[in-house]
Structure formats: C-alpha cells, structure tokens
Amino acid sequence: MDVTYKALADPTRRAILELLRDGDRTAGEIAAEFDIAWPSVSHHLTVLRNANLISAERDGQYIRYSLDTTVIQEIVADLIGLAERRRRRNRVHAP
C-alpha cells in the first residue's frame, strides 16, 4: 500500500486519475491536458501503473489508459479501517 499512497501524494498523478475517472484515454490525450514535458507525463503514468492504480492496453499504435477501480476499492477499505481504529483508540483514551 505504501507505493499506492506515494503515487497518490502527487497532485499531477491525482489529476491524471481524475481525467481517467471520466473514461479511458490515450497517453497523448492525457499529455495534452498538462503543461509539462512528455517524459514527465510518461513518468507519472509509469508510477500510477506500478501502483496498480491504472492499467494500459495497446490500441493499435496507441496505448490506452484506464482507471483500476479494484485498487481504489482497496484504498477506501484501508482508509475506513484506519478511521475506525483511530476512533476506537480515541474512545479508549477519552476522559
């Protein structure tokens, strides 16, 4: 999970995930949304893929990226568990 949270820490990567929430996009379509160099976009896509937040599939000469909702569900479950543990701990320490 550390790799996933590290990937989510970057605002550009979160913006890419937001774009993909609306549907699959090619690398070129994603890059067109940002005012950064292509190698930087490529790096962000690689980090997101390594964290299993997105998947890539060849579509002719293009690579089409899509959001991997399975990992997102795991993150939500992890965060809910964290919140519940914190709530229980706070109840134990309450006066």
**Arithmetic mean of pLDDT, 90-94:** 72
Higher pLDDT, 95 or 69: 69
Q: What is the pTM of this model?
A: 0.79
Is 51 within 8 Å of 3 (Cβ atoms)? yes
What single-letter amino acid sits at 81? G
Domain ranges of the chain: 2-68
Residue-wise pLDDT for 18-54, tens only, equals: 999 999 999 999 999 999 999 999 999 999 999 999 9
Distance CA 27, CA 44 (A): 11
User: Domain 2-68 adopts which CATH fold?
Assistant: Arc Repressor Mutant, subunit A (1.10.10)
Residue-wise pLDDT for 52-65, tens only, equals: 999 999 989 999 99
